[in-house]
A and B are shown apart, each in its own frame.
Chain A
Amino acid sequence: MELTVRIQRYDPEKDSAPHFEDYKLDNVNKTDRILDLLNRIKWEIDGGLTYRRSCTHGICGSDAVKINGRNRLACSVLVQDLKISKSRIQIEPIPALPLQKDLLVDMSSFFEKYEIVKPYLIPKDAPPERERYQSNEDAELLFESAKCIHCGSCSTSCPSLWVNENYIGPAAFLKAYRFIFDTRDDATAERLDLIDSADGLWRCHTIFNCVEACPKEIDITWHISQLKKAALSREI
């Protein structure tokens, strides 16, 4: 099939503002990944088109972009997964972060927010000689949150972040959850203090944009609700 891919372009060395350009592709298969289309445009039409990518199957988290208005991974969405009107799809950078070039945004502030929640295990006691024991049920409580690939789809789709750039955001909360609910970790109070703050948990208004945006289908809002419960219960 023929398809027009409309892409937001911006080269800070040449352009004063971002603009859209259309690229017509023929022989598009319905099973092509959106990343395949970006690659074709870059390799066959305009080598200047700039975006991040690496693993090509939704694990490295490099290629979150806005596809037809929704944050998604370009490598995990096929043409057939999209509702296409007028044989055209539209690709833009994910919002709410500084634009760098074409589909690239500066993710530094996104990554810095992880560091706020002390994203590493803090045990009270020295470890035993062998592994610490943990029940499989307790371990599995962490798996969903540990699936996160740091792509930024969730945080940048959140209206709370749009209005407050200091908002810690769903991705970092998920990381906090991963340690707070780890039976091996002993820094719950410390971490809850960090996220039970002015730019923290209570700015989540359960809008569910993050859940809809997450390419790994993590129920982020549920995890945040568990953190809110934990924060509340300690005040009683």
Chain B
Amino acid sequence: MIHQYDVIIVGAGGAGLQAAIEIPTESSCAVLTKVFPTRSHTGTAQGGVSAALGNEEEDSWEWHAFDTVKGGDYLGDQDAIETMCKDAIRAIIALEHMGMPFNRTPEGKIAQRMFGGHTANFGEKPVRRACYSADRTGHVMLQTLYEQCMKNDVTFFNEFHVMDLIIRDGVCRGLVAIEIKTGEIHIFHAKAVMFATGGYGRVFQITSNAMAGTGDGFEMAYRNGVPLEDMEFVQFHPTGLWKLGILVSEAARGEGGILRNKDGERFMERYAPSIKDLAPRDMVSRAIYTEIKEGRGIEASDGSFYVGLDLTHLGKEIIEEKLPEITGFAKTYLGVDANEEWIPVQPTTHYAMGGIPTTIDAEVIVDENNTTMPGFYAAGECACVSVHGANRLGTNSLLDILVFGRRGGKKITEFLVNAELPELPDDASEWTRNTIKRIRNNDNSVKMIDVRNEMQFTMMDTCSVFRVEESMKEGLQKIKELQEKYLLVGIDDKSKGFNTDLLEVVELGSLLNTAETIITCAINRKESRGAHWREDYAKRDDTNWLKHSLIFGTTGSTPDIRYKPVIIKQFEPKERVY
């Protein structure tokens, strides 16, 4: 079946919905999503969304911008960061006007709390900047945006799995998707496509990401010749629930929670003397692993190690009012009562700083000269603007999706004024058909789960918080072997409708190719910056590496890596200490 639309948005998380709201009703627009919209991963964000509202104490967007630049270890583009931090105030007020329920100050303004890396007066002391709704901020934000979509009568194609982009001669012409319910292939012929497809956390063994976070958008863009920017920068959130990786929000530390080692020591005092437990995530994750490596971790019954997140001094009232969800997780999954005991935590794969390169208006960039591709846009986690640089600050992802989702929607609206429907090639669905045919026809001797487990183990083992060349090279070799093996993976389920067996194999293809770009870029960057920490190059090297990497897929065996300068405005790179 062939559909024609002015705009197709892929993904119904915050970025996709925010973009959809911006498209005027005169234009035909549809949102495609592989899960029902309110199931999107935005809903799992907990602690807050930041804006320098100054509702609780003095604040300014310049301080927010500085924190974002420094938090990202000076790799973020400062024009984009400025845009985001300035627009944050409008974005939060707009959400409130849409009806988002927020916690409030005694006088009735939006309440704000502290979060890692957010400071007053350029690093002086922590500042209350995160607007929140208990520890369900992402959930109510997603609900609010979806409510607005219902109000605006936005068209949704729910449970459609996008398989391929249609790009010919440097122009995006639409995409190919499988309707999950029927197994049928649909072609969406469009003037503009926006990817808001989220992250790739499932590349790694321990992750806070939903099972839907399989890197589909990254991989589809890359497969179709679009480069990926800064893929080596993967955020490991310091406080995942031990073994499960389920997110325990930084809000726990924003409200006064303390990380402790087996001696009960508040070890962050040694790593970040000024802001301690509220240091940025990359630093806290390294500190936790260092504690464990040096024998100060807490040993679990199975011989693995964790550290403790101590909330016992906060009091029942704060815990019940402001952190009910995460303390509920600790109770449900680990049987731990956070009022009485420390929550066992370990770092968990959380967020992709890198992604599809875009301008500050979500237009996709295809080379190191900032050339844009007509008709292709990206926003949210799958995109790299780049505002998060080498390490994202907590609360800035919910902000990113609001600001750049909206800007993308507006830019598409401008683009549509003069855009024609580009010609649709005859072979638009060829890759999709061949892929499905191959998976269906393979005998089931190589199992999806074996390949996926090995990939996730390999990435965790060789390319997580601490990295070293030799081990990463072995990891890359392994990923390449798994890519070969993947071509032989088959399925049990031969039915057409709701064939989730088939779709999981398709997703594994996305994961493997995404993994390859991450580890290739990580081997290539010979310095330590933000979340990319090299034991063999343990210093930041601004002389050689203050630049974005762009990885291009080639038909040969080695991808091509090129570079793009970082945009520096008012904040010159300085040593990053807290």
Contact = CB atoms under 8 A, between A and B. Distances in A.
Interface of A: 11-14, 31, 33, 42-44, 46-48, 50-62, 76, 78, 100-101, 104, 107, 111, 114-115, 119-121, 123, 127, 129-136, 138-140, 142-143, 146-147, 149-150, 178-179, 182, 184-185
A135 B496 contact: no
B108 A133 contact: yes
B210 A60 contact: yes
Contacts of B500: 42, 50-51
B99 A61 contact: no
Contacts of B96: 131-132
Contacts of B449: 43-44
Kindly name the residue among A60, A115, A123 whose own CB sees the greatest number of chain B CB atoms within 10 A.
Answer: A60
Given A146-B133, A184-B99, A47 B139 contact: no
Nearest to A56: B211
B19 interface: no
Contacts of A132: 96-97
Contact of A13 (B150, B496, B504): B496
Contact of A146 (B41, B143, B151, B498): B143
Given A50-B500, A136-B104, A11 B495 contact: yes
A182 B97 CA distance: 12
A76 B147 CA distance: 26
Interface in B310-337: 321, 325, 329, 332-335
Interface in B291-309: none
Given A59-B43, A59-B139, A100-B498, A130 B103 contact: no
A149 B42 CA distance: 13
A47 B447 CA distance: 10
B501 A62 contact: no
Contact of B107 (A11, A13, A133): A133
Nearest to B140: A146
Could you tell me the dominant secondary structure of chain A's interface residues?
Answer: loop
13 contacts: A47-B504, A57-B44, A57-B333, A59-B44, A60-B210, A119-B147, A121-B98, A121-B147, A132-B96, A139-B103, A146-B140, A150-B36, A178-B101
Contacts of A147: 136, 139
Contacts of A138: 104
Interface of B: 35-36, 38-41, 43-44, 92-93, 96-99, 101-111, 133-134, 136, 139-140, 143, 147-148, 150-151, 181, 210-212, 244, 246, 321, 325, 329, 332-335, 444, 447-449, 491-493, 495-498, 500-501, 504
Given A131-B97, A131-B109, 11 more contacts: A13-B496, A43-B448, A47-B492, A50-B501, A111-B36, A120-B147, A138-B104, A146-B101, A146-B136, A146-B143, A147-B139
A53 B211 contact: yes
Contact of B493 (A48, A58, A179): A48
Contacts of B333: 31, 33, 57, 78
A138 B105 CA distance: 12
A185 B148 CA distance: 14
Nearest to B335: A31
A178 B101 CA distance: 9
B136 to A, nearest CB: 7
B108 A47 contact: no
B104 A135 contact: yes
B150 A115 contact: yes
Ordered nearest first, which 9 A-B pairs have the shortest CB separation? A121-B99, A133-B108, A47-B492, A48-B493, A47-B501, A43-B449, A120-B147, A120-B151, A127-B97
Contact of A131 (B93, B133, B246): B93
Given A60-B35, A60-B210, A136 B106 contact: yes
A127 B140 CA distance: 20
Given A43-B448, A47-B448, A55 B210 contact: yes
B20 to A, nearest CB: 14
Contacts of A139: 101-104
B97 A136 contact: no
A111 B332 CA distance: 28
Nearest to A114: B150
B134 A143 contact: yes
